[in-house]
Amino acid sequence: MSKIYFLTFSAALGNMSKLYFLTFSAALGNMSKLYCTRLHENFLVYSFTKNFRIMITRTPDFSLLHHNTFGIDARCREFVEYDTEDDLLALLPELRGTKYFHIGGGSNLVFVGDYAGTVLHSRIKGFEPLAPAPDGSLRVRIGAGEVWDEAVDYLVEHGYYGAENLSYIPGETGAAAVQNIGAYGAEVADIIESVEALRVSDGERIVFLKEQCTYGYRQSIFKGAARGQYIVTRVTLRLQPAFTPSIGYGAIEHEVERRGIDLPALTARELRNIIIDIRRSKLPEPSEVGSAGSFFMNPVVQRPQFEALQQHYPDMPHYDAPGGVKIPAGWMIEQCGWKGRTVGRVGVYDKQALVLINAGGATGREVYNLAQTIAADVQAKFGIEITPEANFVE
Ligand code: EPU
């Protein structure tokens, strides 16, 4: 870091003789960097965000341990965080032609080893209610760097309905739109109106309408055909002013009954709490056990293949899905005897076989090897290929 200048101001406010102190440091060559420090509880903190902004933070040789829920202690060459679209625009020229990877909450990835490039992270924040759509639905524009579950909480709190079933999914809003996160009969594509992104090649700001995002099960244009070409900056959701609970998923229905809740009286907050409790009972807390949530996607097979399998496994759970029949990978992994098994520092969660876990100090390579072994076992037993939902980053 180059030379740092500190300036201290004090100012008397009228005859109240109240002093306000402002301390800021500005890195030479980047006068826009500003730190406001609370000096004393009686002194106000000034945010000079209009004139001086904390914009881009760079940390060389950075440990990603706290930026991936699997808890892999991989390092990257440089970790770069930015606050606004303009900051990102300013960063793009140096990214072009270099090795970089953009993360969200790091809840869906495994760093296989150290990353010999730049890891980017968005701090673009904000909830901005927009004018309602002609059909009366409500629209909220959310910064890509907002934590997804905080977004759901905000929506429930402010009477924007439709996101409750996606409560407690780890990660950030931009990544949610890339990954098309889903749970309990809902996926984020159901409530997306549009996704704003910057095109890496020329910095063009593009607004993708939902239809242009080519959403599918855990799929989008951003992780498919246009992978690496765009960085999502904001997401506009379309929500409802009236709460219509979606409780078709068995576990929710069961929990609503168990709690003795009269369905017409169910509130969005209660449904959100139910979803949170169900997730907590089935999935590891990222703060306690490292994981990437569901590690594999649920495969869809052709109906004749399903019918042949059903002869052997009459109890096999299955759901109709576009293109065939979806078979839960967690069930197949359990049938292969993997549920609750640990191999060295990695393993399979004992309450949900779709979740691979860090049993303590695991490397990404160990996770990768376990995933390969499990997929090979499923292939051998069922003749079905299972594909990771989690992304391996090398
Ligand atoms: N199953 C087993 N053994 C297991 C796990 C599951 O037999 O160890 C069976 C269950 O009994 C059930 C079926 O598999 O019949 C489906 O299980 P579950 O309802 O737990 O859902 P899932 O298919 O394993 C998917 C999502 C989850 C989401 C849940 C609930 C994927 C890849 N995963 O899991 O999403 O929370 O449904 O909607 O689609 C995530 O993506 O990270 C994630 C957690």
Q: What is the pTM of this model?
A: 0.87
Q: What is the pLDDT of residue 286?
A: 87
Q: Does the beta carbon of 183 sit less than 6 angstroms from any atom of ligand 1?
A: yes
Distance between Cα 330 and ligand 1 center (Å): 6
Average pLDDT, the chain: 88
- CA gap 306, 324 in Å, rounded: 8
Q: Does the beta carbon of 338 sit less than 6 angstroms from any atom of ligand 1?
A: no
Largest CA distance in the chain: 88
Alpha helices in 283-382 (DSSP H): 303-312, 329-335, 364-382
Query: Given ligand 1 and candidates 70, 218, 354, 378, which is best to mutate, with the most ligand atoms within 8 Å of its CB?
Result: 354
For ligand 1, atom 34, the nearest C-alpha belongs to 294
Contact 88, 122 (CB under 8 A): yes
**389 noted as active-site residue:** yes
CA triple 130-136-140, angle to 5 deg: 25
Contact 370, 349 (CB under 8 A): no
Distance between Cα 352 and ligand 1 center (Å): 7
Q: Does the beta carbon of 349 sit less than 6 angstroms from any atom of ligand 1?
A: no
Tens digits of per-residue pLDDT, 346-363? 999 999 999 999 999 999
Contact 214, 221 (CB under 8 A): yes
Give the pLDDT mean for 80-100.
Answer: 96
Give the pLDDT mean for 133-152.
Answer: 98
Active-site residue (options: 218, 341, 345, 365):
218
- The DSSP secondary-structure symbol of 132 reads P
Tens digits of per-residue pLDDT, 40-67? 333 333 334 445 566 999 999 999 999 9
For ligand 1, atom 24, the nearest C-alpha belongs to 330
**288 noted as active-site residue:** no
Lowest mean pLDDT among 44-53, 167-176, 203-212, 359-368: 44-53
- CA gap 108, 285 in Å, rounded: 14
